[in-house]
Amino acid sequence: MHKSPSEMPYNPPPESAAELLYQDGWLLAFVKASGLLSVPGREAHLKDCAEHRAKKIDRNARIVHRLDMDTSGLLLFGKGAEAHRRLSRMFADREVEKRYIARVLGEVSEETGEITLPLAADWPNRPLQKVDEENGKPARTRWERIAVTDGTSLLALYPETGRTHQLRLHLAAIGHPILGDRFYGTEAARAAASRLQLHAERLSFAHPETGEPITLTAASPF
């Protein structure tokens, strides 16, 4: 059985000026490092997180969506209740295009593909999820191959749903676990990288005030 996040050692990376990618009167874009929680945990030692750091930049910052602790990349915050409401609605209505970068075990032969395996909580082993054809919620991930190198593949991932651990579990389920994935990776995948090789690279959406298209990008560190 896997330990819950609150039972695992928590050593968040140091704060950096590079965490702030963009801000205006309505929103703030934050680049979260791998190893940093998106929101605080219940215990006092889990207070340091992306949300806590964003509020140091602007006390009105409210987190709109989350990334796994092990995942790096873009997080969006609304400044104030109305901005948060509008941005949250965009995510709920799937009006935000998300692109992730992942390095996976194995040489992927196809150029593009789609994974539609339904997912559900693995209750005896929380926080893990599992593929559940009978009771799982629909989940869809599109992917494109970027490169193949030395027995691994670099993929661009486009999740069309936002299930917990969706990308990690979908890729593991098709035999290409993400390198460094301590939850769903094979022994070889876990040993191949010191951190999870999954990064939220790009968000595209309509600005909550003006409606103008906006695209934010944080380059992948791997």
Q: Are 99 and 122 in contact (CB under 8 A)?
A: no
From 24, 48, 58, 68, the catalytic residue: 68
Q: Provide the 8-state DSSP code for 177.
A: P
Q: Are 25 and 77 in contact (CB under 8 A)?
A: no
Which parts of the chain fold into alpha helices (H)? 50-57, 81-92, 166-173, 187-191
68 is catalytic: yes
Which amino acid does the sequence have at 41? G
- Per residue, the 3-state secondary structure of 5-32, as one string, reads HHHCCCCCCCCCHHHEEEECCCEEEEEE
Query: How would you classify the pairing of strands 198-206 and 72-79?
Result: parallel
Cα–Cα–Cα angle for 2, 4, 7, rounded to 5 degrees: 110
Q: Are 143 and 125 in contact (CB under 8 A)?
A: no
Q: Are 126 and 4 in contact (CB under 8 A)?
A: yes
* Residues labelled catalytic: 68
